[in-house]
Chain A
Amino acid sequence: MSRALPDGLHLGRRDRGLIPVIAAVAAIASLALGGWNAARSLSREWRTGAGQQVTIEIPDFTGEAHRKAERLVKVLGADPGVDSISILSEDDLRTVLRPWLGTMQARLSDLPEILTMTRRPGHPRTNLPAVLDTLAPGAIVEENATWGARLSLLGESLQACAWLAVMLAGIATAGVTTLSVRVTLIARRRTIEILHGLGAADSLIARRIAWRSASLGLAGGAIGMVLGYAALAILHRLVLPFLDHQGGEHALWPSGIAEWISALLSIPASLIQSLLGVPVLVALLSFVVAQGTVRLWLRRLP
């Protein structure tokens, strides 16, 4: 009922404290959704990307390492189970070694040959040990799949934890909404009894209070979503340097409005969609919980 049709409930005066509480819970839910999204991406990456990579090291004791490496590239490159294989250039190898060996690595002459190979998912696995025994005996193989599977499982566990956090946020929202509605019912008890006596149906009273709860939930959810979104945008910016395809040229904090907007829009679209759903879901949950609470309370009146 609008202001033009007063019913004496005056719900707007007492329950605005619910907004910051719901905002905090919604912000936690938003962060949990961000965590879920990140864990899902990492899990997928570990399972289908990094987990398919193999590193082959051919020690150069006889000066034939490079020739063996080229033979391996030729044979394995033609294998349907191999997506790509390449030899790490000497410059790249020295770049990799520099953090550990410093300037000393420049004096090393007999560096091993390093090959990086990516398996093609969904194809029969190449019998790599057999090929290496034939073409490059003594080569050392590091299969990323051995830790990739474990990391993938870890990622899935993190997803489950994030969902649990979202569920707990939902339960917390339902709890504070119930509490707020009960406080409203106690505060407006006499008014509700009078309205009930004048013939107001349960549905009318419940709907009136539930809409109020839903609007508070929507406001709190929107504030919480904005807070969570901003935090996730900053976290995403911090992660950017570790994503090789996005470069590491960003400063830690955005400077200027344009850079802030760019940072805010850099969040994956799927996550933005999930975050936009937070206020709507909070409002819906508040509406349903308030309806149930009021209808249950009204049962004490005949």
Chain B
Amino acid sequence: MIRFRDVSYAHGRARHNARGQPVLHGLSFEIPQGGFYWLTGPSGAGKSSLLRLMHLETLPQSGYAEILGIDIVRAKRNQRAHLRQRIGFVPQDPGLLAELSVFDNVALPLRLAGADRDRIASEAAAVLDWLGLHDKAGVFPDQLSGGERQRVAVARALIVRPALLLADEPTNALAEGQSWQLIEAFATLSRLGTTVIVATHNESLLRGFPMPAIALDRGRQTGNGASASPRRSDPHR
């Protein structure tokens, strides 16, 4: 469950952007566990800021924000670290570690969670295979194409079997066919119980996968399908 009530956020100490407004302003929505949600809006609407907030990279300055049943402002640092381990995040910039191979990048969340070697090896192999990266396990990120790096980031987000999956324009570097495959994979995950929130402004995907959406513009909600029950629809129905 994700529950936001009148949540506002501004970057850094300035607390206001160049226009004198918070980056996110008075957001209120509820997202029950499971289901697939779009996060839509033009550039600068605050989609990335909202995803970073839900990934606990930042904290709101006001309002109440609950992620997976935990009040993220009041939670202790250790609780937040533990909560992050249950959240898969695919940033716009894949954020891979250049010194590590694809396998080690993907395995990292499990290692940080203290998983044993056998589990790490089997789960990393499985997720790489699922995303068509099994032959890239020993390759380093700078030897990959943009699309491959994006898929590695997705693999790293999925390996922990997250309760919440956040993706920020995950299809930017992908061809259209790959984009559809990825979103279909996310939809499958949502059917298995993971809450999936994907930020995009790709109209084709939005039309192809008619899921509920949180719409933002200049940091304010302009539309909210989130409080409705999630539709577990097949996009090809």
Enumerate chain A interface residues (CB-CB to B < 8 A). Answer: 1, 5-8, 10, 191, 194-204, 301-302
Q: Which B positions have Cβ atoms within 8 angstroms of A?
A: 55-59, 77-78, 80-87, 89, 95, 97, 99-100, 104, 108-109, 111-113, 156
Residue pair B95, A194 in contact (C-beta under 8 Å) = yes
Inter-chain contacts of A199 with B (CB < 8 A): 81-87, 109, 112-113
- A198 close to B85 (CB less than 8 A): yes
* Shortest beta-carbon distance from B136 to chain A in Å: 17
B108 touches A198 (CB 8 A): yes
A8 and B108: CB pair below 8 A? yes
Query: Which residues of A have CB within 8 Å of B108?
Result: 7-8, 195, 198
In the assembled complex, 25 residue pairs joining A and B whose CB atoms fall closer than 8 Å, in A order, are A5-B111, A6-B104, A7-B112, A8-B104, A10-B99, A191-B97, A194-B95, A195-B112, A197-B55, A197-B89, A198-B84, A198-B85, A199-B86, A199-B87, A199-B109, A200-B112, A201-B77, A201-B78, A202-B77, A202-B78, A204-B112, A302-B56, A302-B57, A302-B59, A302-B80
Name the residue of chain A whose CB is nearest to the CB of B100. A8
- Cβ–Cβ < 8 Å partners of A194 in chain B: 95, 97
Which residues of B are found within 8 Å of A202, using beta-carbon distances? 77-78, 81
Other CB < 8 Å A-B pairs besides A198-B109, A202-B78, 15 of them? A1-B111, A5-B111, A7-B111, A10-B99, A194-B97, A195-B112, A198-B84, A198-B85, A199-B87, A199-B109, A199-B113, A200-B112, A201-B78, A202-B81, A203-B78
Q: How many A-B residue pairs have CB under 8 A?
A: 59
Q: How far is the CB of B93 from chain A (nearest CB, A)?
A: 10
Interface SS of A by simple majority: loop
Taking CB atoms, residues of chain B closer than 8 Å to A195 are 108, 112
Task: State whether B109 touches A302 (Cβ < 8 A).
Answer: no
Chain A residues whose C-beta falls within 8 Å of the C-beta of B100 in the assembled complex: 6, 8
Distance to closest chain A CB from B54 (angstroms): 12
- For A10, A196, A198, A302, the residue with the greatest tally of chain B CB atoms inside 10 Å of its CB is A198
| CB nearest to B105 among chain A residues | A8
Q: In the assembled complex, which residues on chain A have CB atoms less than 8 Å from the CB atom of B56? A: 302
B80 to chain A: closest residue by CB? A302
Nearest-Cβ distance from residue B71 to partner chain A, whole angstroms: 13
A302 to B59, CA, bound (A): 7
* Residues of chain B with a CB closer than 8 A to A191's CB: 97
Q: In the assembled complex, how far is the CB of residue B75 from the closest CB belonging to chain A, in whole angstroms?
A: 10
Question: A8's closest neighbor in chain B, by CB?
Answer: B97
A10 to B104, CA, bound (A): 13
Looking at B78, B83, B84, B113, which has the most chain A CB atoms within 10 Å of its CB?
B84
Cα–Cα, bound, A204→B80 (Å): 14
Q: Which residues of A contact B104 (CB under 8 A)?
A: 6, 8
Which residues of B have CB within 8 Å of A8? Answer: 97, 99-100, 104, 108
Shortest Cβ distance from A89 into chain B, in angstroms? 81
Complex: A10 Cα to B98 Cα, angstroms: 11
Q: How far is the CA of A160 from the CA of B95 in the complex (A)?
A: 54
Q: Which residue of chain A is the closest to B91 with respect to CB atoms?
A: A197
CA distance A169 to B80 in the complex (A): 39
Scoring B55, B81, B95, B100 by chain A CB atoms within 10 A of each residue's CB, the highest score goes to B81
Please pick, from A10, A198, A301, the residue contacting B112 in the complex, using a CB distance under 8 A.
A198
Closest to A199 in B: B85
Question: Chain B nearest CB: distance from A59 CB in Å?
Answer: 85
Closest to B86 in A: A199
Once the chains are docked, how many angstroms separate the CA of A7 from the CA of B112?
8
State the Cβ distance, B95 to closest chain A Cβ, in Å.
Answer: 5
Chain B residues in 8 Å Cβ range of A203: 78
Q: Please, which residues of chain A bring their CB within 8 A of the CB of B156? A: 198
Pairs of residues from A and B, 10 with the lowest C-beta to C-beta distance, nearest first: A199-B85, A8-B97, A199-B84, A201-B81, A302-B59, A200-B112, A198-B109, A8-B100, A6-B104, A194-B95
**Complex contacts, A7 vs chain B, CB 8 Å:** 108, 111-112
- Cα-based distance from A286 to B224 in the complex (angstroms): 53
